[in-house]
C-alpha cells in the first residue's frame, strides 16, 4: 500500500490542501484563502500584531496558525502562554463554525493555560483579561449557542491598551 499523502522531507504531514476562511479543507485545486507559511517566525510584537490583524478580520483559524508558530518557538517559560493564545484562537474558530462542543473545550483549555500567566507581562499580553474574556464567552456560548454571536463578539484584544 502506498502512502500518497502530502508529506515534508522528514515525513511529517503538510497542510497543502486549500482551506476556506474558517480553516476547513477544500478539495485539491479549489481556490482557498491564503494560508500562513509553516515556517513563519516573528518576534513577539510582530506575532501579536499579525494575530490581532487576523482576528479583527474574522480569520481566527489563521490567527491560530500565527500564534501556534510562536508557541512552538517560544522559550519554555513563555510556551504555555502562547499555547493558550493559540487555543483561544482555535476556540474562536470552532465558534465561527457553529461547533459549540469544540468552542467550549478550546476556550476552557485557553482559560486554564492563560491562568498560569495572569500576572505576567509578555509583549503586553493581558493574560488575566483574556482569561476572563474567554470564560465569559464560553458561558455565553454554553447558554445561548454560537449562532447568536456577532463577528465583533469573537474578537479579543490580545494586548492591553498600554501594550
Please indicate whether residue 112 or residue 27 has the higher confidence score (pLDDT): 112
Please indicate whether residue 11 or residue 100 has the higher confidence score (pLDDT): 100
> pTM (2 decimals)?
0.84
Domain ranges of the chain: 76-154
Summarize pLDDT for 141-151 with one digit per residue, the tens.
999 999 999 99
Summarize pLDDT for 112-121 with one digit per residue, the tens.
999 888 777 7
Question: What secondary structure, in 3-state letters, does the chain show?
Answer: CCCCCCECCCCCECCCCCECCCCCECCCCCCCCCCCCCCCCCCHHHHHHHHHHHHHCCCHHHHHHHHHHHHHHCCHHHHHHHHHHHHHHHHHHHHHHCCHHHHHHHHHHHHHHHHCCCCCCCCCECHHHHHHHHHHHHHHHHHHCHHHCCHHHHCCCCECCCC
So what's the pLDDT on residue 93? Answer: 97
Summarize pLDDT for 28-53 with one digit per residue, the tens.
888 878 777 777 788 999 999 999 99
Amino acid at each position: 500500500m502506498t502512502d500518497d499523502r502530502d508529506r515534508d522531507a522528514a515525513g511529517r504531514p503538510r497542510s497543502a490542501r486549500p482551506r476556506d476562511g474558517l480553516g476547513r479543507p477544500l478539495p485539491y485545486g479549489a481556490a482557498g484563502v491564503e494560508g500562513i507559511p509553516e515556517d513563519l517566525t516573528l518576534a513577539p510584537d510582530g506575532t501579536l500584531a499579525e494575530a490581532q490583524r487576523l482576528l479583527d478580520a474574522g480569520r481566527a483559524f489563521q490567527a491560530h496558525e500565527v500564534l501556534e508558530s510562536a508557541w512552538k518557538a517560544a522559550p519554555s517559560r513563555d510556551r504555555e502562554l502562547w499555547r493558550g493564545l493559540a487555543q483561544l484562537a482555535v476556540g474562536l474558530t470552532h465558534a465561527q463554525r457553529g461547533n459549540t462542543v469544540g468552542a467550549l473545550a478550546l476556550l476552557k483549555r485557553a482559560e486554564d493555560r492563560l491562568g498560569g500567566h495572569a500576572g505576567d507581562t509578555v509583549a503586553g499580553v493581558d493574560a488575566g483579561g483574556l482569561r476572563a474574556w474567554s470564560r465569559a464567552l464560553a458561558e455565553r456560548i454554553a447558554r445561548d449557542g454560537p449562532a447568536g454571536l456577532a463577528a465583533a463578539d469573537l474578537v479579543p484584544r490580545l494586548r492591553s491598551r498600554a501594550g
